[in-house]
Amino acid sequence: MRTQIAAANWKMNLALSEAEALVDQLIAVPHQLNNNQLVILAVPFPYLIAVQNKIAGKKNIFVAAQNCYTKKSGAFTGEVSAAMLQSIGVEYVVLGHSERREYFKEDNSLLADKVNIALEHNLKPVFCCGEPLAVREAGTQDKYVETQLQESLFHLSEHEITGFIIAYEPIWAIGTGKTATNQQAQDMHANIRSVIAGKYSVTVADSISILYGGSVKASNAKEIFSMTDVDGGLVGGASLIADEFITIMNSLK
Ligand code: 13P
CA distances, 101 to each of 22, 57, 132 (Å): 28, 35, 11
Active site residue 169: yes
Helix (H) or strand (E) holding 142: helix 141-153
Q: In total, how many domains does the chain have? A: 1
Of ligand 1's listed atoms, the one at least distance from the Cα of 11 is 10
CA distances, 123 to each of 2, 63, 69, 113, 191 (Å): 19, 11, 13, 13, 26
Among residues 131, 169, 189, 244, the one annotated as catalytic is 169
Of ligand 1's listed atoms, the one at least distance from the Cα of 173 is 4
Provide the residue range defining the domain that includes 28: 4-249
Strands (DSSP E) contained in 103-217 are: 124-129, 165-168, 209-213
Ligand 1 within 6 A of 96 CB? no
pLDDT at residue 111, rounded to an integer: 98
If we measure between CA atoms, which residue out of 41, 37, 27, 32 comes closest to residue 240?
41
Of ligand 1's listed atoms, the one at least distance from the Cα of 94 is 10
Do strands 4-9 and 165-168 pair parallel, antiparallel, or not at all (unpaired)? unpaired
Which parts of the chain have pLDDT scores under 70? none
Of ligand 1's listed atoms, the one at least distance from the Cα of 217 is 2
Active site residue 159: no
Phi, psi of 136 (to 5 degrees): -60, -40
Distance 12 CA to ligand 1 centre (A): 12
Distance 74 CA to ligand 1 centre (A): 32
Ligand 1 within 6 A of 237 CB? yes
Distance 13 CA to ligand 1 centre (A): 12
- The one-letter code for the residue type at 55 is I
pLDDT at residue 230, rounded to an integer: 98
Distance, CA of 226 to CA of 231 (rounded, Å): 8
Q: For a ligand 1 pocket test, name from 40, 43, 169 the mutation site with the most ligand atoms within 8 angstroms of its C-beta.
A: 169
Distance 213 CA to ligand 1 centre (A): 6
CATH of the domain at 201: 3.20.20.70
Condensed to tens digits (0 to 9), the pLDDT of residues 73-109 reads: 999 999 999 999 999 999 999 999 999 999 999 999 9
Q: For a ligand 1 pocket test, name from 234, 239, 248 the mutation site with the most ligand atoms within 8 angstroms of its C-beta.
A: 234
Ligand 1 within 6 A of 169 CB? yes
Distance 193 CA to ligand 1 centre (A): 22
pLDDT at residue 59, rounded to an integer: 87
Of ligand 1's listed atoms, the one at least distance from the Cα of 177 is 4
